[in-house]
Amino acid sequence: MKPDPRATILSRRRFLTLSGQGALLAGGLALSAGAWLPRWALAEPDLASRLLRMGRDIYPHEAIADRYYLEPLQPLLEEQREMIDAGLAALDRRARATHGRDYVAIEDERERVALLREIEDGEFFQSVRNTLVVGLYDNPELWEPHFGYEGSSWEKGGYLNRGFNDLVIDWL
Amino acid sequence: MSGKFSHDDDSVVVIVGSGAGGGTLAHALAKRGINSVVLEAGKRYRMEDIENDEWEMFKKISWLDERITAGPRQLTETFPNLPAWIVKGVGGSTIHWAGVALRFQPHEFRLHSEAGDIAGANLLDWPISYEELEPYYVQAERHMGVTGESTGMPYHQWNNNFKVLAEGAKRVGYQKLRAGPMAINTQAYDDRPQCMQAGFCMQGCRFGAKWSTMYTDIPRAEASGHCEVRPNAMALQIEHDANGRATGVVYADGEGNLQRQKARVVCVAGNSIESPRLLLNSHSSLFPDGLANSSGQVGRNYMTHATACVFGVMPKPVHMHRGTTFAGIISDEARLDRSRGFVGGYTLEVMSLGVPFFAKFMDPSNGGWGRDITSALDKYDHLSGVWICGEDLPMEDNGITLHDTRKDQYGLPVPIVYKGDHPNDEVLRRHGQAQATKCYEAVGAERTFLVPDFPTSHNVGTNRMSARAADGVVNKWGQTHDIDNLFVSDGSQFTTSGAENPTLTIVALALRQAEHIAERMQRREL
Ligand SMILES: Cc1cc2nc3c(=O)[nH]c(=O)nc-3n(C[C@H](O)[C@H](O)[C@H](O)COP(=O)(O)OP(=O)(O)OC[C@H]3O[C@@H](n4cnc5c(N)ncnc54)[C@H](O)[C@@H]3O)c2cc1C
Ligand code: SF4
């Protein structure tokens, strides 16, 4: 039973109006309660909120729900758990050395991003990033509602009669 | 019904690879009643296997055997094991090619004469002229169903993506704007339907509107009874006799067993990494440096086109994913005009990517993350994109070599694909990026950004044509200078890259080669 994607993520338009009101989240994220989180995230909420913070700093989309960041990380956790734990621990050590607190507790996004920039060439960072670049953007549930990308079209007869050339350039 | 030729039948032409070069050649030979066996490393796919899904198709059909990316270029860092984007399957890269079917310009066959020596470039004229190839361009256009004069099919209607680019281009002063020529039907043609503007040309055309040997040349050659295609057959070595004549090809079949197919003629069409690799791997005591390599040019002069992409974020939704991926071509900069600070020209071609590939390719470097990236992705439906296809000068050290110790699943040395830019390539690329950016600014883009090279789609030059045996690997017929009955039938024959996509020229050369082979066989010269 899959939830309706439109119910769990804000529509883009709605988000655009919200973001003007300062909807950007800062610092530690409270996991959205019961919102279809993967089982591993419910079992290890601390791990999940650290990875979620990191995922959202790497590919920030305020309108995309937590589970879309967390679900794709499961195989990585299964295969490379030690590397992930060590990477997160090292990130926290760095955070404590410069900011006196754990990475997730740093409120300023720019400061968190600066920390991640320092480790972006490392295996830990790139494996999380490479997992998300596919896991997040190859998810058909997000395509149309969030990005306006309509996905597979051949079964609908393509766009020949559905707007492949409907653009009128009226903004010039 | 496919012909069944025995392994000992030494009257057949053995063709390695079933893509643009190999598939076309097999069909053209079959039409002349010449029997061939096509060895294809990849599987056979059905139309139902073609999905509108970028990653699924990438995983399904790409050549993913180990390769090593090398050289001073970003791909070495970003795609260390995927230097090129090539299909492994019956139909080869014509399954995922985008259908742009441009002829080379006359002067591009004699760039060396036109431009003179250029330091650092291993520049050479083609041993054939545009005029010699022209009739075969016409044949190729009819054969593939290319929109325009040869077939009478109209060009495509401009899709949204091209409307945006073209409007900007007009404002920049460009005039040569066309939604073709494309090897994509705009009407039913050649028993194939018209394009449904589905997008996903680079994942394979589910409708068969775009030419591909997968569903044209290959099944037709097989139906003639003159061709047998063996999928899952990886050619490992070309054998020869004591006189240095090719006698057959050793290959691994789908079960991993070694087989030997005897041959009267061998034609190599495995695309520009595998073709030279096969020649190099076929070294023997008679040919210690590899087959057909007396010039030392096998594997050298690897060209990829000087490319880059530019995207613009427009004020309103464009929906670039709707409709053909590449049908929109600007040729104003394709001319030779050294006042721009570089030799050779480039074509600007509209292009689109879906969200999955756009996210991956927008900036694959380690630092390609953060709000810069996601703010563009959030505007995905407002994007328009263009690809720069520019002349890439041949350099002797750019090429394919074999790794000393690393072996692939067949036990063959892994290829190292080395490529660096000639300074000319860099100037050309920057010019193209600046012009494309101007186009998008002129049409009101809110933001423009550069997207780097992807794994190479246009691979040419590694067995180049030359008039003299000392300068290249094959003569003007694609016949190797060293071995009479050994031919090269794919893009690796290219002497220079031109400013145009290669496939139409590959097909024209293959049609011409088929005619030549047939005549020579008839005269018992082969
Ligand atoms: C995304 C994309 C878009 C493109 N769009 C265009 C375009 O719009 N216009 C254009 O002109 N070009 C385009 N191209 C390029 C075009 O696809 C190639 O130039 C063309 O297909 C090359 O033809 P080929 O015969 O050299 O090789 P291919 O078509 O790649 O065929 C080679 C075949 O040989 C097989 N093979 C290799 N080695 C062996 C071996 N040892 N034994 C057995 N089989 C072997 C391979 O599996 C493959 O099937 C595009 C390419 C890509 C990746
Ligand atoms: S846009 Fe046309 S040619 Fe391209 S895949 Fe769709 S139907 Fe085929």
Q: What is the 3-state secondary structure (H, E, C) of B12-37?
A: CEEEECCCHHHHHHHHHHHHCCCCEE
What are A58-110's pLDDT values in tens digits?
Answer: 999 999 999 999 999 999 999 999 999 999 999 999 999 999 999 999 999 99
Residue B204 near residue B211 (C-beta atoms within 8 A): no
- Average pLDDT on B334-354 reads 97
Helices A74-99 and A109-119 meet at what angle, rounded to 10?
Answer: 110
Residue B349 near residue B329 (C-beta atoms within 8 A): yes
Which chain A residues are closer than 8 Å to B199 by Cβ? Answer: 153, 158-159
Name the H helices within A4-149.
Answer: 5-8, 12-19, 39-43, 45-58, 66-70, 74-99, 109-119, 123-135, 140-142
Q: Determine which of B48, B59, B378 to mutate to test the interface with A (most A C-beta atoms within 10 Å).
A: B378
Q: Determine which of A167, A168, A170, A171 to mutate to test the interface with B (most B C-beta atoms within 10 Å).
A: A167
Relative to the CA of B502, which ligand 1 atom is closest? 11
Number of H helices, E strands in chain B: 12, 17
Selection from B305, B393, B329 nearest residue B114 by Cα: B393
- Is residue A136 a part of any domain in this protein? yes
What are B82-125's pLDDT values in tens digits?
Answer: 999 999 999 999 999 999 999 999 999 999 999 999 999 999 99
Q: How does DSSP assign B281-328, residue by residue?
A: HT--SSSTT-TT-TTS-TT-S-B--EEEEEEEE-SS---TTSS-SS--
Give the end-to-end CA distance of chain A in Å, rounded to a whole number.
47
Residue B183 near residue B504 (C-beta atoms within 8 A): yes
Who's near B135: CB < 8 A, 6+ residues apart?
none
So what's the pLDDT on residue A6?
A: 38
- Is residue A54 a part of any domain in this protein? yes
Who's near B364: CB < 8 A, 6+ residues apart?
B78, B79, B452
Does the pLDDT at position B212 exceed 80? yes
What residues make up the domain containing B129? 13-145+155-522
- Average pLDDT on B256-267 reads 97
B382, amino acid identity: H
Give the residue on A whose Cα is nearest the Cα of B160.
Answer: A165
Selection from B85, B45, B31 nearest residue B212 by Cα: B45
- Average pLDDT on B30-36 reads 98
B457 lines ligand 1 (CB under 6 A): yes
Listed by number, the residues of chain B in 312-351 with a beta carbon closer than 8 Å to a beta carbon of chain A are: 314-319, 321-323
Q: Provide the Cα torsion B128, B132, B134, B135; round to 10°.
A: -140
Determine contact: A129 vs chain B, CB below 8 A: yes
Question: Percent of chain B having pLDDT more than 90?
Answer: 99
Residue in B15, B39, B55, B97 to alter for ligand 1 test, most ligand atoms within 8 A of Cβ? B97
- The answer to whether the predicted template modeling score (pTM) of the entire model surpasses 0.90 is yes
| Total number of domains constituting chain A | 1
- Average pLDDT on B500-524 reads 98
**CA pair distance A111, A133, nearest whole angstrom:** 22
Question: Percent of chain B having pLDDT more than 70?
Answer: 99
Angle at B262 between CA B256 and CA B265, to 5 degrees: 120
B105, amino acid identity: Q
- Is residue B4 a part of any domain in this protein? no
So what's the pLDDT on residue A27?
A: 52
Binning pLDDT at 50, 70 and 90, where does residue A28 land? low
- Is residue A14 a part of any domain in this protein? yes
Does the pLDDT at position A18 exceed 70? no
**CA pair distance B265, A126, nearest whole angstrom:** 49
Who's near B116: CB < 8 A, 6+ residues apart?
none
Who's near B123: CB < 8 A, 6+ residues apart?
B111, B112, B115, B117, B393, B394, B496
Tell me which residue has its CA closest to atom 4 in ligand 2: B201
Give the end-to-end CA distance of chain B in Å, rounded to a whole number.
28
Whether B370 and A113 lie within 8 Å, measured CB to CB? yes
A171, amino acid identity: W
So what's the pLDDT on residue A35?
A: 66
Binning pLDDT at 50, 70 and 90, where does residue A36 land? confident
- Average pLDDT on B500-512 reads 98
Tell me which residue has its CA closest to atom 4 in ligand 1: B97
Residue B96 is classified by DSSP as T
- Please tell me the least confidently modeled range out of A34-38, B113-117, B168-172, B208-212: A34-38
Helices B160-172 and B423-442 meet at what angle, rounded to 10?
Answer: 100
- Is residue A32 a part of any domain in this protein? yes
Residue in A121, A138, A153 nearest the CB of B55: A138
3-state DSSP assignment of residue B416: strand
Going across the sheet that includes B329-330, the strands are B177-178, B329-330, B346-350, B383-390, B306-313, B447-451
Task: Tell me the ligand closest to B350's alpha carbon.
Answer: 1
Other CB atoms closer than 10 Å to residue A123's CB: what's the count? 12
| Total number of domains constituting chain B | 1
**CA pair distance B437, B449, nearest whole angstrom:** 8
What are A109-151's pLDDT values in tens digits?
Answer: 999 999 999 999 999 999 999 999 999 999 999 999 999 999 9
Which chain B residues are closer than 8 Å to A147 by Cβ? Answer: 355, 377-378, 380-381
- Average pLDDT on B491-514 reads 98
Beta bridge partners of B224: none
So what's the pLDDT on residue B3?
A: 54
Residue in A61, A159, A166 nearest the CB of B199: A159
Q: How many angstroms away from the CA of B442 is the closest CA of chain A?
A: 9
- Is residue A59 a part of any domain in this protein? yes
Residue in A113, A129, A153 nearest the CB of B199: A153
CATH number of the domain bearing residue B451: 3.50.50.60
Selection from B521, B497, B525, B122 nearest residue B347 by Cα: B497
Whether A59 and B374 lie within 8 Å, measured CB to CB? yes
DSSP E strands in B40-192: the ranges are 68-70, 177-178
Specify the DSSP element, H or E, that contains B506.
helix B503-522
Q: How does DSSP assign B173-240, residue by residue?
A: T---EES--BSB-SS-BTTBPPP---S-GGG--TTS-B--TTTTHHHHHHHTTSEEEETT-EEEEEEE
Binning pLDDT at 50, 70 and 90, where does residue B453 land? confident
Beta bridge partners of B16: B39, B268
Determine contact: B124 vs chain A, CB below 8 A: no
**CA pair distance B494, B422, nearest whole angstrom:** 18
What residues make up the domain containing A87? 5-141
So what's the pLDDT on residue A109?
A: 97
Binning pLDDT at 50, 70 and 90, where does residue B53 land? very high
Determine contact: A17 vs chain B, CB below 8 A: no
What are B354-385's pLDDT values in tens digits?
Answer: 999 999 999 999 999 999 999 999 999 999 99
So what's the pLDDT on residue B39?
A: 98
B419, amino acid identity: K
- Is residue B232 a part of any domain in this protein? yes
